[in-house]
Amino acid sequence: MTTLTCISCGVEAPAPDSAGTCPVCNDPFAVLDVQYDMACVQANMTSQTLKQRPMNHWRYAELLPVHPDKTAFTWPVGMTPIINAPRLANKLGAGSLMLKDDGRNPTASFKDRASSIAVLHALQQGATHIACASTGNAASSLAGFAAIAGLNATIFIPYRAPKPKVAQLMIYGANVMRVQGTYAQAYDLCTAQCAEHGWYNRNCAINPYLVEGKKTCGLEIAEQTASNPPDWVAVAVGDGCSIAGVCKGLTQMHELGLLEKLPRVLGVQAQGVCPIAQAFETSTLNTKGHTGTLADSIDVPVPRNWKKAVACVAKTQGDFVCVSDDQITTAMKQTATLAGVFAEPAAAAAVAGVGQAVAQGIIDPASSVLAVITGNGLKDIDRVIKITGQPNDINP
Ligand SMILES: *Cc1c(COP(=O)(O)O)cnc(C)c1O
Ligand SMILES: [Zn+2]
């Protein structure tokens, strides 16, 4: 790691302890981006040296802002499998389809990639307490990794957080504050408490280190498909951190010569909450009039990382599409029945987006596509039973 630069004005910024935005811009959306000495990385991280590394995301240590010690090296995170899904590809009208199943991370979502970086960074700074505000996966993931690392965690959740995710927080032993208010209020309270008590702030959108963890998904896609990379990579988008990470990972591997061609990246939002898809067309953020979606993990009307998301998707010649809640539930069923992968609604949105992009002529029907399954379906049981209905009750 060399410097941090502002994605808005490009100024070099001093490394913040945890969360922090540009000191010059005075704009909450002016987030910082970690830079690396790519010549040094290229000399040390080669397809040969990678062969000897642990099968988790620390194998990419040169491209991470924290250096794992011996203990962290054993944390199980990343290197999730890629599953070929020919019947689902056929259904969606794509040439071929692969699913990267990130629901197989320790707390069953993509967020573990960021949380593992957060707890290691917090430990290395001597912090004993870490906090975040979240409605779901970021919180349960932080609680899980705080337990792995032996840190205290305080989590602020809004009143309407889904039950299975709250159960995860409680069993991992986090100190859970259910704020009797909105997500925005929980977020502001968390920021204030971190400042007051000196806690490490995991809030991903404004912590420049965490997106580097999300980047490892892109690094893995590159390594796992190196000789035959997909034409497109589809990712569901809420705050925009995940897709920004995936794009950065793919781009860096391409730059290092470890990925033959750079895939185009497709951002997928829900029709009811699509501020980043709109900003991709208009270059301005509209936070008004969003009606919501059943996919709680991407129900983000005020996305903090929209600028980074829009810029990095454009850099890959990518695009955005929006899908309805009906398309999302259909994709949940299809992903399970035609590929054997149980995806939570937000994750299934990426699959629905592939079908939508083919229908709109964005993805050519001959193309190869990889969709990132960002969370496991057991995260939202009530929703699943509503879709499937009850089993057949019979007498023995
Ligand atoms: C957080 C999350 C996303 C979206 O990530 P952002 O960084 O908010 O864009 C997608 N799917 C799942 C399952 C998530 O938990
Ligand atoms: Zn700036």
Structure confidence by residue, pLDDT tens digits, 206-226: 788 999 999 999 999 999 998
Which tokens belong to 386? 């509503």
With cut-offs at 50, 70 and 90, classify the pLDDT of residue 23.
Answer: confident
- Residue 207 near ligand 1, beta carbon < 6 Å: no
pLDDT of res. 389: 92
Residue 206 has φ and ψ, to the nearest 5°, of: -110, 10
- Residue 134 near ligand 1, beta carbon < 6 Å: no
- Residue 298 near ligand 1, beta carbon < 6 Å: yes
| Atom from ligand 1 closest to the CA of residue 136 | 15
> Which H or E element spans position 387?
helix 381-388
| Atom from ligand 1 closest to the CA of residue 111 | 15
- Residue 344 near ligand 1, beta carbon < 6 Å: yes
Look at residues 371, 395, 394, 375 and name the one whose alpha carbon lies nearest to residue 384.
375
CA of 20 relative to ligand 1 center, distance in Å: 21
Distance, in Å, from the CA atom of 218 to the CA atom of 63, rounded to the nearest integer, reads: 12
Distance, in Å, from the CA atom of 27 to the CA atom of 84, rounded to the nearest integer, reads: 43
Query: Residue with the nearest Cα to atom 2 of ligand 1?
Result: 297
Does position 375 have pLDDT exceeding 90, yes or no?
yes
What number is the average pLDDT over the span 47-67? 93
pLDDT of res. 204: 65
Residues 352, 358: contact at Cβ < 8 Å? no
- Find all residues with CB under 8 Å of 359, minimum gap 6, and list them: 93
CA of 315 relative to ligand 2 center, distance in Å: 20
Cα distances from 152 to residues 67, 123, 128, 138, in angstroms, run 21, 11, 6, 16
CA of 205 relative to ligand 2 center, distance in Å: 15
Distance, in Å, from the CA atom of 297 to the CA atom of 344, rounded to the nearest integer, reads: 9
Task: Please give the residue that has the higher pLDDT: either 183 or 328.
Answer: 328
Residues 142, 130: contact at Cβ < 8 Å? yes
Distance, in Å, from the CA atom of 95 to the CA atom of 39, rounded to the nearest integer, reads: 36
- Residue 137 near ligand 1, beta carbon < 6 Å: yes
Burial class (CB in 10 A: 0-12, 13-18, 19+), 160: exposed
Strand partners, 178: 157
- Residue 346 near ligand 1, beta carbon < 6 Å: yes
Does position 160 have pLDDT exceeding 80, yes or no?
no
- Residue 239 near ligand 1, beta carbon < 6 Å: yes
State what percent of residues in the chain have pLDDT above 90.
74
CA of 4 relative to ligand 2 center, distance in Å: 11
- Find all residues with CB under 8 Å of 139, minimum gap 6, and list them: 132, 133, 155, 157, 161, 165, 169, 174
Which tokens belong to 29? 């959306």
CA of 137 relative to ligand 1 center, distance in Å: 8
Span 256-308, pLDDT tens digits: 999 999 999 999 999 999 999 999 999 999 989 889 999 989 998 989 889 99
Task: Please give the residue that has the higher pLDDT: either 144 or 74.
Answer: 144
Count of other CB atoms within 10 angstroms of residue 35: 12
Span 84-133, pLDDT tens digits: 999 999 999 999 999 999 999 999 999 999 999 999 999 998 999 999 98
What angle, rounded to 10 degrees, do the helices at 345-359 and 325-339 form? Answer: 100
- Residue 380 near ligand 1, beta carbon < 6 Å: no
Distance, in Å, from the CA atom of 327 to the CA atom of 157, rounded to the nearest integer, reads: 28
User: Please, which residues have CB less than 5 A from ligand 2, an ion?
Assistant: 6, 8-9, 22, 24-25, 30
Specify the pTM: 0.95
Which tokens belong to 72? 């962290």
- Residue 237 near ligand 1, beta carbon < 6 Å: yes
In this structure, which ligand is nearest to the CA of 374? 1
Phi-psi region of 198 (alpha: psi -120 to 50; beta: other; left: phi over 0): left
Query: Residue with the nearest Cα to atom 14 of ligand 1?
Result: 297
Distance, in Å, from the CA atom of 262 to the CA atom of 255, rounded to the nearest integer, reads: 9
Q: How many CA atoms lie within 13 A of 184 on its CB side?
A: 5
Which residue shows structure tokens 């991470």? Answer: 64
* Continuous H helices in 256-380: 275-282, 306-315, 325-339, 345-359
Does position 49 have pLDDT exceeding 90, yes or no?
yes
Cα-based torsion angle of the residue sequence 306, 321, 299, 135 in order, rounded to the nearest 10 degrees: -70
Instruction: Identify the sign of the CA torsion 140, 251, 76, 350.
Output: positive
- Residue 105 near ligand 1, beta carbon < 6 Å: no
DSSP letter at 350 equals H
CA of 26 relative to ligand 2 center, distance in Å: 7
In this structure, which ligand is nearest to the CA of 238? 1
- Residue 374 near ligand 1, beta carbon < 6 Å: yes
Residues 303, 278: contact at Cβ < 8 Å? no
Which tokens belong to 274? 């699509």
